[in-house]
Amino acid sequence: MSELIVIRADATPSMGTGHVMRCLALVQAWERIGRKAVFVGHITVPWVRERLSKEGVSVNYLEGDVAPEQDVSVLLDEVSGYDASWVVLDGYHFSLECQKAVKNAGHRLLVIDDYNHLPEYCCDILLNQNINAPTIQYRGEIGTRLLGSDYVLLRQDIIKARHLSKECTPSPQIKNILLTLGGGDESHTFDQLKQVLHSAEMKGRTLRVIAGSVAVEKWNELLADSPATVEIIQQAHDMSRHMLWADFCITAGGSTCWELGALKVPFVVFEVPENQKEIAQYFKNSSRGLGQLREIISGEIVPESIEIPVDGSGLVAGSMLLFPFSIMPVKSEHAEEIYPIVAAKETRRKFFSTSTFSLEHHLAWFEERLKKDEPFYVVMKDQSVAGFVRFDKDGADYVASIALAKNARGGGRGHNASMSTTECFFMRNPDAKLRAYIKKTNPVAIQLVLSTGFYLEGDVEGDSTTSSFYRLNGYAK
């Protein structure tokens, strides 16, 4: 089976562009670890087509309208003929029958969900990146569950802008306000916005509107009497630039919330379609509803940004590559499960440091390690830890370490785990440099780091007869 993935998602003025744009983030992560992808969908929004073309993504554009519920036989025709290792379904019109049909046709299936709208699910991986996802009681034949904001799909432009945002000094006053309703035509929500946008608090502010699929004439009509200085952007080719410009954003609940969070831009949210109600309610409960907007603009309420990890798309791509294993950020509850792996005699013999240690010592070390902002991932199988990859700060560099349990070895899993987590590392630390210390008597580890992209730099000082160190620079593209 090839390592090509087929993304089945649509983008139209009526349904919006979020499904395709978040899948683009997954495609970028998949291709950055050396694999290929193709989009198949009804993609009629011009700027989305332009974006996919600019990205160099393979696309099979489907003709006709999007059906309220996808016909199963048509879907199978659409995704067949690619010799794909995975099919990804992202859309509320893909029923349980669609999922079963794709699985029965011999494909591995990843389903992206937002609000548990089906009675049950049938897939190899179920992804729900929303904050409330871990509390949802999903039913059905589900393999791996990737639930919560650890798995937020962020595109490369947002990830790169995240590092630019760290250099920006937040404005003590809200002067620049961004308004975006997503890529669909959401002009029916204007009544919710009109009173706020016409309020006296908007005087002296610049309101930049991302038009989406709403006609500019409709925006001009809505904002004709607004005291703000209004800018209307018809096609936002670089959304991250507009987000970095903003001191504050008004947005619909959806993927834009995660992008704003990644860029540390404060925002308020109001709900638009049914699928966004839960996320909108979450933010309303966190004082991010439209009702607080006047107080925020006037300075009575000081808005705060939310913290969103930037390596989620890498974790999802890595979990697909390693299936039926998966990758996730380490948690406190993993401490005792990691100990037998890291303390095993075989592991100690292969590690640069051969010292043995007790469980108590390990738990104390682990507690301190979690306090550090240094990437640490676990390889999971059936909700149990089967290995780990960590990156420890050492001076100006980071040192990479990997260990897998016996049940996780073989089948190229070491290579895939190393490639995937290294990509996640560089998503978080694009300018960092990696080192790996390998014993010369460990040919498997040497081959592993070389296949990941490391190169031999020299022998370990004072130990030239036994060990060498390898370096990886410029891996992030």
The 10s digit of each residue's pLDDT in 354-368 is 788 999 999 999 999
Structure tokens at 318: 């890595």
Q: In terms of residues, how long is the chain?
A: 477
Query: What φ, ψ does residue 333 adopt, rounded to 5°?
Result: -70, -5
pLDDT of residue 215: 87
pLDDT of residue 208: 96
Fold of 325-472: Aminopeptidase (3.40.630)
pLDDT of residue 477: 44
Q: How far is CA 345 from CA 129, 355, 410, 454, in A?
A: 38, 10, 19, 26
Say if CB 470 and CB 449 are below 8 A apart: yes
**Helix residue ranges, H only, 329-473:** 335-343, 345-350, 359-370, 413-428, 443-452
Could you identify the residue written with the tokens 């704003």? Answer: 260
Structure tokens at 475: 């891996």
User: What single DSSP character describes residue 271?
Assistant: -
Q: Which of 50, 176, 158 is nearest to 427 (CA)?
A: 158
Structure tokens at 109: 């299936």
According to DSSP, the β-strands at 108-112 and 121-128 are parallel
Say if CB 414 and CB 397 are below 8 A apart: no
* Rg value, the chain, Cα: 24
Right CATH number for 156-298 from 3.40.50.2000, 3.20.20.70, 3.40.50.970, 3.40.470.10? 3.40.50.2000
Residue ranges of the chain with per-residue pLDDT less than 70: 1-2, 166-172, 184-185, 271-291, 303, 462-465, 474-477
Say if CB 264 and CB 165 are below 8 A apart: yes
**Farthest CA pair distance, the chain:** 78
Query: What φ, ψ does residue 25 adopt, rounded to 5°?
Result: -60, -40
Right CATH number for 4-151 from 3.30.70.940, 3.40.50.11190, 3.40.50.620, 3.30.450.20? 3.40.50.11190
According to DSSP, the β-strands at 121-128 and 140-147 are parallel
Q: Which of 425, 441, 440 is nearest to 453 (CA)?
A: 425
User: What single DSSP character describes residue 169?
Assistant: P
Detail the DSSP E strand segments found in 133-256. 140-147, 176-180, 206-210, 229-233, 248-252
Task: State how far the Cα of 192 lies from the Cα of 250, in Å rounded to an integer.
Answer: 12
Q: Which of 438, 441, 459 is nearest to 450 (CA)?
A: 438
Task: State how far the Cα of 127 lies from the Cα of 239, in Å rounded to an integer.
Answer: 24
Q: How far is CA 361 from CA 199, 276, 289, in A?
A: 60, 46, 47
pLDDT of residue 297: 77
Can you spell out the DSSP letters for 278-311?
A: HHHHHHIIIIIBGGGHHHHHHTSS---PPP--S-
Say if CB 115 and CB 262 are below 8 A apart: no
Identify the three-state secondary structure at position 465. coil
Say if CB 276 and CB 252 are below 8 A apart: yes
Residue 243: HSE in the Cβ half-sphere, 13 Å Cα cutoff: 27
Two domains, one topology: 4-151 and 156-298: yes
Say if CB 101 and CB 79 are below 8 A apart: no
Residue 152: HSE in the Cβ half-sphere, 13 Å Cα cutoff: 25
Q: How far is CA 306 from CA 21, 22, 174, 192, 268, in A?
A: 21, 19, 17, 24, 11
According to DSSP, the β-strands at 121-128 and 267-270 are unpaired
What pLDDT digit, counting tens, does each position of 93-119 carry? Answer: 999 999 999 999 999 999 999 989 999
Model-level pTM? 0.91
Q: List the chain domain ranges.
A: 4-151, 156-298, 325-472
CB-CB neighbours of 302 under 10 Å:
10
Can you spell out the DSSP letters for 350-387?
A: HSS------HHHHHHHHHHHHTS-S-EEEEEETTEEEE
